[in-house]
Chains A and B, each alone.
Chain A
C-alpha cells in the first residue's frame, strides 16, 4: 500500500522533476513507437507487395516463362511463324516443355516460341492498307509470358486439392498510329540499240525456185501495188532498220546464193509469206533474243511517321468474380462485366486517371469501340494490367483463340499449396509455378533491405533506446531519492516501514511512467506521422514474374528475365498494440526506476532524519 495523495502531491508539486523524468521515458517509448511503426510499415508494405496471390483469391499462378539463357544464337533458330499446337491427347501439358527434352535446347525452343508469339508486332505495315493510308492499330503480344493452350487450365483444375483454376491472358499492347509508308523505285527502260548479224542458210536451187514460185503466186494473187517487189529475191526476218550485211544490193545475186533484202514493212510481217519460207528460215526468225542487262539502283529507305505507345491488357474470366487477375472486390466504381461482356472492359484506376477515362466511356481498339463498365484497383501484384477484357475478346484481338498464358489456381487450404505446386510441375513439365513464398524469395530492393534492417537492427535499437530511457529515469529517481534523504529518513522515523517507503517511491515513479507513457504516445504518434509525411519511397524489385512491365526489347531476346520495380511509400502506422506496448514500456520504466530509487531509500537509516545535513 502507498499513499496516493502523497504520491500525487509529489508528482504535482515537483512537476519539473516529474516532467524531466517523464520526458526521458517518453522520448524512449516515442522512439520505440517510431521504430515499431517503421518496422510495421515496412512489413505492411512488404505484405502488400508480397501477397498478390492471396489478395486475388489465388494461391498459385502457373505461367510459362522463358528460361534464362546465354545462348544468343538459339533465339534465331526458328523463323517459321507457326504457333505450337498440341494434340488433344498429347500427354498433358507437353507444350510446357517446349517439345525438346534437353534443358538447354528447351530454352532455345522456348525462345523461338517467344519470338513466334510476339511475331505480330514486327508486322508488315502493308497489311494495313495501301501506301499513304493513315492507320491506328493495336498489336497484342504476350511479352515474356509464352502462351499455351487453355486445356492446361482444365488439366490443373482436375488436380486433387485444387478448388478452382482460372485461365488468364496477360498481354502487352502496342498502340501504333501513322501512315503506311510508300516505297518507290524508278527503273528506266528502253532506248537500247540491239545489233544482230545473221547469216541465213544457203538455199538449194530447188528451194529457191519453190520459194520464188510461191511468192510470185501470192503476189499475183493479191494486189498489183506490190509489183515493185516482185523481183525481190528474199525477205528479211528481222525488224528494224538494220541493213543487209554483205555486198550487193538491189538485183538478184549472180550465183546460186540468195541474200535477203530488207524492206520497210517487209514481207516477213505478212504471215502469208511465211508459208513460202523454208523451215530453217522460220526457225531463225524465232531465235533472235535481246541480250540480258542488269540494272542497279540505290533505294532510299521508306519514311514512316509511326508513333508507338504501349499499355498492358489482360483477359479475365468475366464469370469468375472471386478468382482471377482482378476480382469483384477490387471494383472501385461502375459494375462488373455484364452477362454479355464481349464489348466491355474494366480499366485500372491508375490508367483511367492518366488517360482520363471514365465509367461508361469507350476505348477504341482496331476500329472497334469497347465500353468501360467499371474501374478497378488491382492490388500491387507482379501482374497488373491497364485494361481488362473478357478472355475470349482478348484472345480474338490477339489472334490467339484458346490460348492463355496464366493459370490462377485456388487450393483448398494453405497447407496444400506445396503439394499442389509439386502436382502442377509434374502435370505440366516446364511450367513456372509461382506461390506467395516463391514470390517473396524473388523480391529484392530497398524495401526488402530496409525491412531486413528494421528487423535486424530495429529490435536492437528499440531495446537500446528503451534501456537508455530506463537508465535515465532510474538515475533521475536515484538522484531524487538522494535529495530527499531527510524526508525519507523522517518518514522512517515516524514509523513508515521500509516497504512502505519503497512502495511510495515506486508509486511515484510509476506515476511518472504513466505521464511519460502518455507523452511518449504523443511523441510516437507524431514521429510516425512525420515519417508518413516525409517518408522516403522504397523500391521493391520482383524478378521473373512480370508480364505487363516487360518491354519489347526483352522479348526480342536482349533480355530474357523481366523485372518489375515498384516504389512503395514508407509509412509508419500506429496500431493499438503499439500504443499499449509503448504505454506498458513507460510503466515498466517507471517501475524499474522506482525499484532502483526504493532500494536506495530502503537503505537510509531512520536516524538520518536527525542528522544535520546543513
Chain B
C-alpha cells in the first residue's frame, strides 16, 4: 500500500532551485548585495527540505506501520517494453531517517559554512555546489528505483568532485577531485553491472540463445505491458516491485538456482552492487580517494565525506536487504570487507599528523563498522550507526574546521596544541564527539557500535571459521584503535602549549587567508560554534533513539525501521547467547575504549611524554619498517600507481600507436598504392594509348557525330545511359559466373 504525497518532490527540488539560483545569479547578487544574498537562499532551501521531511514524518506516523510508504510520481522516465523506470520519489521509514539526517546536518553545515567561507571570493560558487549536493543526495535516498537512485548516486560523485577541487588553482586539489570521481566511477561500473545482472536475471526463463523469450508474455505484446504487469510478471528496476517478486517463493527458488559464468547469479549481483558501495563508501580496495578528498573545504569534508555521501553505500545495502540477505556468502563478504576496512583504516589513523586525515581514516573505519552491521543482517543497526556517526563525525570535522581556521589554515597537529585555552567551545564539543566515537557509555557511539559488535558476535549467517567471533575480534580491535587515535588527536590539538604561530607561517591560501590577523589562535564566530554545540549535543543524545534491548528500554529506531526490513527477517539467523554474554561483551568494549583512551592520554596529554618522539626516532629496523609502512598508508596509492595507472597509461599509448601506425597507415598505404597505379596508368596512357588514340583520331571525329546524338544535354538520358551501362556490367557478371 502506498500513499500519494506530492510534497515529496519539494524535498530535492528546493535545494536544486537554490543551486540554480546561485549558479546563474549568485555572482551578480554577491557583487551587488553582498554575501547575504548568496547564503540566505542557500540555507533556506535545505531548511525547507527539512521541514517537508518533518511533515512527511507526521504523515507517516498517521499511517499504519506496515503501510508507511509515501510516493510522488513525476513522470514516466524510460518506459520501454517491460522496463518500468519512472521518475518518482518514495519515502518509507528508512528514507525518512536518511532524509532527516541529510537535511538536518546539511542545513547546519550550510550555516556553519557562512562563517567558514566568508572570505572566499567564489562564495556563491561554493553554496551553489553545496545545494546541488543536497539535491543529489536527496534524490539518491528518495529514489523509487535503481535508475533514479543512480542519478543521485552519480550526482553526489559529481558534487564531491566539484567541491574537492573547489580551490582548483592548486593542482593538488584538482588531482584529488579527479581521483575521487574516477574511483567513484569504478564503483558506478559495479553498480551498473549489478543492476544489469539483476534486471536480466528477473526476465523469467531464458534460453541460452540470443533471443530469449520473456516470461509471461511474448514480445509481441511487450509494447502494451503496463507498469503493473511489469512489476508482477517481468523484470523491474523499482525497489518495491523487485522486493515483491522476491517474496514469491517459486520465483525466488528459481532465481537462486540461476548461474551465470558458472557463479551463482545472486552472489554476482550482490558482489557487483557492493563494488558500487565500496566506491561510494570508501571500502577496501576503493577507499583511496577519501583521504585525498580532504583537499576540499572542511564543511565539505564534514557534509559529504563524513555525514552523508559516503554513507550511500550503506544505505544501498540496507535498501536492497532482500538481495543481500539471500546469500550467506554475500553476507560474509560484506561483513568481512567492512571489518577489514574498519581495522585497516584505524591502523593508518595512528600515524597521521594532518587533523583532517585522521578524521578521514576514522571515517573509513567507521564506515567499515556500518558494513559489518548491514553485512550480518542487522540493517537497522547499520542505519543507527550511520545516524550517530553523522552527528559525531560532523561535529569532529566541523571542530577541526574551527581549529584550522583558528590556527590560520594550519592542519598539522604538531603545530597546534593548547587550543583549549583559546577555543573553549570547539575544544569541548570536540571532546564530546571523541567520547561518542570512542564508544564510552551514554554517548551515541556507544549504543550503535556496541550493537554492531553484538550483532556480529551473535550472527549465525557468516561462513568463515569462528563466524561472528572472528568479526567481533576485528571490530573490537578497531574500536580500541579508534579510541586511541581520536584521543590522540584531541590531546595533540587541544592540550599542552600552543606550538604554532611565530609568523613563519606561509600564507599560501591567498583566497581564504586571513590577512593582518594576529598569529594567535582565536575562537570561531557564533554561527560556527552554535552548530558545533548542537552537533555535540546530538552526539550524546542521538543514541537514545536506539537504546539496547538488554536494558529493557524502548528502542525507538529499531521499532520504527522494523517494517522496512520485514522481508529479509527470515533469512537472518542469530546464535543464542545468554544475556550475561551481552553484558560481558558490553563491559569488554567499554574496557577497550578506556584502554585506548588511557594510552592516548599517557602518550599525548599536554604533549609532554617524550615516548612518541622517541619511538619515531628509533633506529630499530622493525619499528622503522612498521612505521614507514603504516604512515605511508601501506603504499596502496603507490601500488595502484605502479600497476593500474601505469598499465592504463601504457595501454593508451599502445592504442594510439596502433591507430596511427597500423590502422591509419594501412589506409594511407591503400591511398599510395592507388596513386602509384594511377601514375603508372598515366604513363601507359600517354605513351601507348594516346598513340593509338591519335592514330584513330579520325574515328573519334566521325564517331563523335554519331555519339552527339545521345549527348543531348538531358540529365535524364545521362542517368539512363549510366544506369544501363551499370546494369549491363552486372548482367555480364551474372552470366559469367
B partners with A: no
Interface residues of B (CB under 8 A from A): none
Interface residues of A (CB under 8 A from B): none
